[in-house]
Amino acid sequence: MATDSAPHANRKITLTDIAAACDVSRATVSLVLRGSPLVNKHTRARVEEELRRQGYVYNRAAANLRRRTSSSIALVVNDLANPFFAEFATGVDEALGGAGYVTLLGSTDESIAREQQVLASLLEHDPAGVILSPAEGSTADQVLKTVGMRTPLLLFNRELAGKATPAAPWDRLMLDNQRGARLATEHLIALGQKRIAFFGGHAGSSSCQQRHAGYVEAMQAAGLPIEPHWRIECAPNRVDAAAQCGALFFDTPAPTAAVCYNDAVALGLMLGLYPRGIKPGRDFAVTGFDDIAEAALSAPPLTTLTSAPRARGRQAAELLLQRVRNPQAEPQRTVSSVKLVVRGSSCPPPAI
């Protein structure tokens, strides 16, 4: 009894401890843990009691090592502080948790170098798969080099730059950027807008290209002109958008509306308009993309496209888990539709 339950403050309780206490073999305890029907009822009860008594905590790392399995998924996003991705991450974690997986988190802050580091570091923990929303400018070659072909990868939200490496058949979950931007543009056109700019984002990014394409499509379908100085690039955040606002009005004819790359840019643009005496939603129409929480609360509230990011997170997790369970299946590209939410920031053009 001397070596009994004294809380030996500094060693973890393992299978061996339980086995010794119950006077059975480690194998038997393991079988109990895994719920095997092989063990005798009575034995099982004794062991379970002892597990509880000693406060045993399963060591999944050891089990994974032996079984050559993994119970984690790496989630790497370009900007966790963006409410859109925070919602997305919540959805991912929800779905993964339900499936018995744990989320390894990494945020890259749009830095390609950090993305490489983060991926490499997370891979050392041997995740069953990776969900990646790439940093801007991240290339297929780089990602392939650090992730390799063994670990399933799901791309979310953005395509990778560079020629599509044929050897890297990744799954994708994308938003219907083109259709979204087309819807927004059509909405402005229906309000009577004719001089519509496309504002924000970097022309290099795939999502920006797609959104721009949707804008062009709608403009051309309506027979409206597109002035080259109506396309303004800026970093996809509020600060840079506000700073670039003036560029819209350098040349004439100045636009009276703007389809923005995303909500952050749209909100920034609106902030930039006020000091020029232009009131968005009255003198100038603005649309966004993402429907982040701020969108409904800004002044005026922002017309934008919603994609239910939390549901996208769950979907991403499920797509990846499918792939983990069936690595051989054909890679799939899923495009999730978006919905226009009309709010106060879109308006007809000024009377004259």
Partner DNA sequence: TCCTCAACTTGGAACGATTCAAATTTGTGA
Partner DNA sequence: TCACAAATTTGAATCGTTCCAAGTTGAGGA
Binding footprint of a second copy on the chain (CB under 8 A): 9-10, 12, 55, 57-62, 64-65, 71-72, 75, 80-83, 85-87, 89-90, 93-94, 97, 100, 102-107, 109, 117-118, 121-126, 148-150, 267, 271, 293-294, 297-300, 310
Beta-carbon-side half-sphere exposure of residue 36 (alpha carbons within 13 Å): 13
Crossing angle for the helix pair 206-221 and 177-190, nearest 10 degrees? 40
Q: CB nearer to a second copy: give 86 or 154.
A: 86
Q: Which is nearer to DNA, 42 or 52 (CB)?
A: 42
Q: Choose the contact partner of 297 out of DNA, a second copy, none; CB within 5 to 8 A by kind.
A: a second copy
Can you give the binding site for DNA, defined by CB under 7 A?
A: 11-12, 14-16, 23-28, 30-31, 33-34, 38-43, 56, 58-59, 62-63, 65-68
Report helix angle 41-54 to 26-33, nearest 10.
Answer: 90
Q: Between 36 and 337, whose beta carbon lies closer to DNA?
A: 36
Q: Taking the complex as a whole, how short is the minimal distance between the CB of residue 129 and DNA, in angstroms?
A: 18
Cβ atoms of residues 83 and 293 within 8 Å: yes
Q: In this structure, what DSSP letter does residue 236 have?
A: S
From the list 212, 216, 271, the residue with the least C-alpha distance to 245 is: 271
Nearer to a second copy among residue 85 and residue 170 (C-beta): 85
Alpha helices in 55-132 (DSSP H): 60-67, 83-98, 112-123
Smallest separation, CB 186 to DNA (Å): 55
315 binds, among DNA, a second copy, none (CB under 5 to 8 A by kind): none
Q: How far is the CB of 48 from a second copy (least distance, A)?
A: 16
Which of DNA, a second copy, none interacts with 45 (beta carbon under 5 to 8 A by kind)?
none
Nearer CB in complex with a second copy: 43/90: 90
Closer residue to DNA (CB): 51 or 118: 51
Lookup result for tokens 């993309």? 289
Least distance to a second copy, CB of residue 10, Å: 8
Euclidean distance between CA atoms 321 and 59, whole angstroms:
22
* Least distance in angstroms from the C-beta of 104 to a second copy: 6
> Which entry of DNA, a second copy, none binds 52, CB below 5 to 8 A by partner kind?
none
List the single partner that 293 binds among a second copy, DNA, none, CB under 5 to 8 Å by kind.
Answer: a second copy
Question: Measured from the CB atom, is 52 or 163 closer to a second copy?
Answer: 52
Of a second copy, DNA, none, which one sits near residue 4, judging by CB under 5 to 8 A according to partner kind? none
C-alpha span between 150 and 128 (Å, rounded): 10
At 62, give phi and psi (nearest 5°).
-65, -45
- Tokens in use for 181? 């931007």
The alpha carbon of residue 26 and the mean position of all alpha carbons in its chain are separated, in whole angstroms, by 42
Smallest gap, in angstroms, from Cβ of residue 126 to DNA?
9
Q: Residue 220 touches which of DNA, a second copy, none (CB < 5 to 8 A by kind)?
A: none
Q: How far is the CB of 227 from DNA (least distance, A)?
A: 58
User: CA-based angle 146:147:149, to the nearest 5?
Assistant: 125
Give min distance, CB of 334 to a second copy, in A. Answer: 23
- The residue (of 12 and 333) whose beta carbon lies closer to a second copy is 12
- Of the pair 24, 104, the CB lying nearest DNA is at 24
**DSSP-derived secondary structure letter, 205:** S
d(CA 338, CA 94): 22
Strand order in the sheet with 257-260: 231-232, 196-199, 257-260, 285-287
Neighbouring CB atoms inside 10 A of 244's CB total 19
What are 111's strand-pairing partners? none
- How far is it, in rounded angstroms, from Cα 211 to Cα 138? 19
Q: State in angstroms the smallest separation of the CB of 84 from a second copy.
A: 10
Radius of gyration of the chain (CA): 27
